[in-house]
Structure 1
Amino acid sequence: MFGLGFLGLAIYVYTIYDVVSSKFAGNNDKLVWVFIVIFLPLIGTILWFLMGRKTASR
């Protein structure tokens, strides 16, 4: 059970890192995504990988 919790935490931390290191067209887009991921951890992570990475440019 500990392994699943650690895996979930690792994915969550990676998601926050991915959002912060991404470049966005608008100034507030990054801030909005960070808030979404922090306040809605599971849903925010899923939304980021399904929708957010497409809107952010690398």
Structure 2
Amino acid sequence: MFDMFGMTVSFFLFIFFFGFGIIGTLFWLWMLIDCATKEPSEGNDKLIWIIIIVFTHVLGALVYFVIRRPKRIQDYGK
């Protein structure tokens, strides 16, 4: 028989995870652009952070957002 409830739950789960994936990718892209354009080019910090963000996707972007970005804003003001 046709299970309407199961289809509804599956649809909402699909929408939830699809939305989470889109939001995560946009956040990753924002942190990658932020690091590439605003991180000072002194030493290898910029290159290392870009590599971390690229290869660890959302997790690396979140680590950059929580750890490095506030310190950079405090030190350099941007």
The bucket for the TM-score relative to the shorter chain is: 0.7 to 0.9
Query: 1:2-56 deviations in whole A, cap 9, x for unaligned?
Result: 2221111111111101101113262311101000101112321121011111342
Kept after mapping to 2: 8 A contact 1:24/1:55 = no
* Structure 2: 5+ residue stretches without partners: 1-16
Tell me which structure has the larger Cα radius of gyration.
Answer: 2
AA in 2 matched with 1:32 = I
Give the helix-richer structure, 1 or 2: 2
2:52 corresponds to 1:36: yes
Q: What residue ranges of structure 1 are gaps of 5+ in the alignment?
A: none
Aligned residues: 58
CA distance in structure 2 between the partners assigned to 1:37 and 1:14 by the alignment = 11
Q: Could you tell which deviates more after superposition, 32-41 or 46-55?
A: 46-55
Helix, strand or coil for the counterpart of 1:27? coil
**How large is the RMSD of aligned CA atoms in angstroms?**
1.7
Higher relative contact order (CA 8 A, sep 6+): 1
Match of 1:9 among 25, 31, 41: 25
Counting aligned pairs with the same residue, the percent is: 26
CA distance 1:5–1:43, shift in 2 (3 Å): closer
